Amino acid sequence: MSIPIDLLLNAIVAGLLLGGFYAAVTVGVSISFGMLDVVNIAHPAFIILGSYIAYIINATFGIDPILAALIVLPAFYVLGQAVYQIFYWSFEKRGEEALRGLAFFFGLLFITEVMLILVFGVDYRYVHALYIGPTWRIGFIDLPLRMLVPCVVSILLVVALQMFLSRTFVGRAIMAVAQDQQALRLLSVDPIRIKRIAFGVSIATAALAGAFLIIIQPVEPSIGREYIGRIFAICVLGGMGSLPGTVIAAVLLGIIESLTATFYGPSWAPAVAFGFLLVTLAVRPAGILGR
């Protein structure tokens, strides 16, 4: 069987763009799960929340969704800090995070979804922006702007985060906190404060990821669940807490999903992420750049 070369190339480019977006979706979990060891399975719910907030601001004031996300970024940061504080008091401190901590985040995921259904119903919502619609064409390759813009901003976000983590004191403390809390105490840095800041940052990225999501596709409350498999597959394959690894894994999954959708049909795409996750867990739990 011969595969038309333009179809193949287009699928790969679409996958690259999708992968850029997946990097933004996952980067928060790479921080919370990968670095802090907090298994925030509610992360997709925060992303959907971000989508709906971008939607409200966009629909009310006509502000660009990405700009809207940047406006609410501080609020998400504070929300993340609050969630971590509750998690710390209720579970980490008592040393019961394994079972009940998971149930806690699952509860949050569920409550957020149900609240959104109560307020907005189950209809799909979408946003308006200049770049939703037009497509650049280079030769026979399509570059839809509604994919390209999130992808570019997403890569900027990851680069900024990487600089923050490697260049600033707080950033380095975050990288260190998972390794050795004791050492931080010796430097008279409060590890809980560092973790709180890091978790705030992780949730703040969800605001942007949410805006990207609703730019790329219309959103309804329950689609967050589709992302759980993807997010954790990427996070694990990326090596749990390595941002460059996250980007590579995200792009890899993006391309595989895009090829699957092109050649087998889009309804199979969710299964790809899960297969990806299972294979990752079974064969290479340390990730591609893994330890």
Partner 1 sequence: MRAATFVFIALVVGAIVFALSLLARNEYVLFAGFVVLQYIVLATAWNILGGYCGYVNFGTAAFFAMGAYSTVALHKLGANPGRYLAGTFAEALIPLFPLSIPVLVVIGGLVSGLVGFGMGYLTLRLRGVFFAIATLALAVVLQTLIINWDFVGGSRGAYVIRPDSIALGPVSLSYIEYLYLVMLSLAVLALCVARQIERSRLGFGFATIRDDELAAEASGVPTLRLKLIATALSGALMGMAGAPLPYYIGYVEPAAAFGLPYAVNSIAMPMIGGTTSWVGPLIGAILLGTLQQIATVTISSVVNLLIVGVLLVAFVIIAPKGIVGLLQDRWRARLQP
Residue given tokens 């999501």 in the structure block: 213
| Among the listed residues 59, 246, 23, 280, the one whose alpha carbon sits nearest the alpha carbon of residue 150 | 23
From residue 141 to residue 180, the character string flagging contacts with partner 1 as x (rule: CB under 8 A) and all else as - is ----------------------------------------
- Cα 291 from Cα 142, distance rounded (Å): 38
Q: What SS3 state is found at 142?
A: strand
The reply to whether 263 sits near partner 1 by the rule CB under 8 A is: no
We find the least distance from the C-beta atom of residue 243 to partner 1, in angstroms, to be 20
Which phi and psi (to 5°) does residue 136 adopt?
A: -80, 145
From residue 78 to residue 107, the character string flagging contacts with partner 1 as x (rule: CB under 8 A) and all else as - is --------x---xx--x-x-xxx-xxx-xx
| Among the listed residues 80, 62, 87, 61, the one whose alpha carbon sits nearest the alpha carbon of residue 209 | 80
The reply to whether 124 sits near partner 1 by the rule CB under 8 A is: no
Among 17, 25, 41, 165, binds partner 1 (CB under 8 A): 41
Question: Which CB atom, from 87 or from 127, has the smaller least distance to partner 1?
Answer: 87
We find the least distance from the C-beta atom of residue 259 to partner 1, in angstroms, to be 17
Among 6, 133, 278, 284, binds partner 1 (CB under 8 A): 278
How buried is residue 169: exposed, middle or buried, by Cβ count under 10 Å (0-12/13-18/19+)? exposed
- Cα 264 from Cα 238, distance rounded (Å): 26
Give bridge partners of residue 144 from the DSSP assignment: 135
44 close to 224: Cβ distance less than 8 angstroms: yes
The reply to whether 271 sits near partner 1 by the rule CB under 8 A is: yes
Site for partner 1 in 177-216 (CB under 8 A): none
Question: Which CB atom, from 10 or from 90, has the smaller least distance to partner 1?
Answer: 90
- Cα 93 from Cα 125, distance rounded (Å): 40
Report the interface residues with partner 1, using CB under 8 A: 39, 41, 86, 90-91, 94, 96, 98-100, 102-104, 106-108, 110-111, 113-115, 117-118, 222, 225-226, 228-229, 232-233, 236, 267-268, 270-271, 273-275, 277-278, 281-282, 285
